[in-house]
């Protein structure tokens, strides 16, 4: 690994940490304080995550196209500035409409500095050991989510949620701006071919039209949409299990942090073993965790030791989803369509995330618990496994 590649890894890891940590990572911590500040129902406040993902999905397509055409530093700078602006707007919001606008801007900013940009940076810079490099940068989102969730809880205990958001806006500008100037080239190099045992069509538009792509993206949409949607409610769920505020914030952060070394490990394993087999284990494990949380296997409330153990296990295996998916999708689409393929996968994820967030909120408001929502989310992981197996058959026959 040369000096340029090390700078690329640093930029991809840190930018993803900020992009995911300051959007998805902190949202569960702010859910209940925002409810109290605006006297709003949980379904309405949780819907901010849906707005965020809606705008993220729309901007993923445009950002993917810009990356595929070689644009780099300016796109990532624009995303950083937009994220800081969104945090500033949220900190000064006087009503939920302004907060909704901030959520939309946050979503727009994520693709240009989040996993899509990180995957593009690594794909352009690494011809060898791409899985290992993806494992390195895959540590960015969970590390950022855990760090900013813990920092948010710490700052809010000493000030308020508005001041906390102002601090985060300043951090985004002062840390990411200089790093991107040093590490990210003005333009990307031409896409490098991605090693694969599966035949790829010569034209990028043909590779995106193949069933194997849509089935693979469908697997990711189900798994990532369910995981992201459930995380919005995870802190509130822990409160229903009898954990105090410090325990809830600590466990959320720990779950995020544990996904970081897991991303590195799974990324390296993806270079040695078929990613499909590793993904089946991850999806099955996540489904079992949700089923246990529901009380279908063990009556609720669950013992605190079991809750902690399940959260730790979930964090460890969840870290492998993104690097393994990126590695797999890179082998199943043409290199020139790689960034657009990731953007389309985000499009598919949006309705899954919306259903996960809103169904969980509706179940809680109607029944006072997340039991039936968790059963449905567990079934979603079974559907994700089915998509993955079908994509494998499609890849083998192509």
Q: CA-based angle 115:118:121, to the nearest 5?
A: 150
pLDDT of residue 190: 55
Contact assessment for residue 320 and residue 263, using Cβ atoms and an 8 Å cutoff:
yes
What does the pLDDT look like over 258-274, one tens digit per residue? 887 888 788 788 878 88
CA distance 372 to 290: 11
What does the pLDDT look like over 64-109, one tens digit per residue? 778 877 788 888 999 999 999 999 999 998 888 998 899 899 999 9
- H-helix or E-strand spanning residue 369: none
Q: 39: left (phi > 0), else alpha (psi -120 to 50), else beta? A: left
Contact assessment for residue 140 and residue 147, using Cβ atoms and an 8 Å cutoff:
no
**Overall average pLDDT of the 29-52 stretch:** 79
Residue 380 has pLDDT above 90, yes or no: yes
Contact assessment for residue 192 and residue 335, using Cβ atoms and an 8 Å cutoff:
yes
CA distance 272 to 131: 9
Q: Which domains does the chain have, with CATH numbers?
A: 3-397 (1.20.1250.20)
| Total-model pTM | 0.68
Give the residue, 244 or 85, on which the prediction is more confident. Answer: 85
CB atoms closer than 10 angstroms to residue 69: 11
Looking at residue 337, the DSSP 8-state letter turns out to be G
- The pair of three-digit structure tokens given for residue 93, joined into one six-digit string: 């919001």
**Overall average pLDDT of the 14-37 stretch:** 84
Cα 98 vs. chain centroid, distance in angstroms?
24
């Amino acid at each position: 690994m040369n000096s340029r590649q090390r700078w690329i890894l640093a930029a991809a890891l840190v930018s993803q940490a900020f992009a995911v940590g300051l959007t998805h990572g902190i949202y569960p911590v702010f859910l209940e304080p925002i409810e109290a500040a605006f006297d709003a129902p949980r379904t309405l406040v949780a819907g901010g995550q849906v707005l965020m993902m809606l705008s993220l999905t729309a901007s993923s397509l445009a950002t993917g196209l810009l990356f595929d055409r070689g644009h780099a530093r300016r796109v990532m700078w624009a995303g950083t500035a937009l994220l800081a602006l969104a945090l500033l707007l949220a900190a000064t919001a006087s009503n939920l409409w302004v907060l909704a606008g901030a959520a939309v801007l946050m979503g727009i900013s994520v693709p240009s500095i989040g996993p899509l940009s990180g995957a593009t940076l690594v794909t352009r810079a690494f011809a060898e050991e791409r899985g290992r490099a993806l494992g390195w940068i895959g540590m960015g989102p969970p590390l950022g989510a855990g760090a900013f969730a813990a920092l948010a809880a710490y700052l809010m205990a000493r000030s308020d949620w508005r001041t906390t958001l102002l601090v985060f806006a300043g951090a985004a500008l002062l840390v990411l701006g200089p790093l991107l100037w040093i590490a990210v080239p003005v333009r990307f190099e031409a896409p490098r071919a991605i090693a694969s045992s599966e035949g790829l069509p010569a034209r990028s538009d043909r590779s995106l039209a193949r069933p194997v792509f849509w089935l693979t993206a469908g697997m990711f949409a189900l798994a990532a949409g369910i995981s992201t949607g459930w995380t919005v409610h995870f802190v509130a769920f822990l409160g229903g299990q009898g954990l105090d505020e410090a325990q809830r914030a600590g466990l959320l952060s720990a779950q995020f942090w544990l996904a970081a070394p897991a991303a590195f490990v799974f990324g390296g394993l993806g270079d040695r073993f078929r990613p499909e087999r590793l993904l089946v284990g991850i999806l099955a494990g996540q489904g079992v965790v949700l089923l246990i949380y529901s009380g279908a296997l063990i009556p609720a409330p669950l013992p605190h030791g079991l809750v902690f153990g399940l959260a730790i296990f979930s964090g460890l295996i969840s870290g492998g989803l993104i690097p393994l998916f990126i590695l797999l999708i890179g082998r199943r689409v043409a290199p020139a369509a790689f960034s657009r393929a990731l953007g389309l996968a985000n499009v598919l994820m949006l309705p899954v995330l919306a259903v996960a967030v809103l169904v969980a909120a509706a179940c809680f408001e109607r029944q006072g618990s997340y039991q039936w929502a968790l059963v449905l989310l567990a079934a979603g992981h079974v559907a994700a496994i089915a998509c993955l197996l079908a994509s494998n058959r499609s890849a083998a026959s192509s």
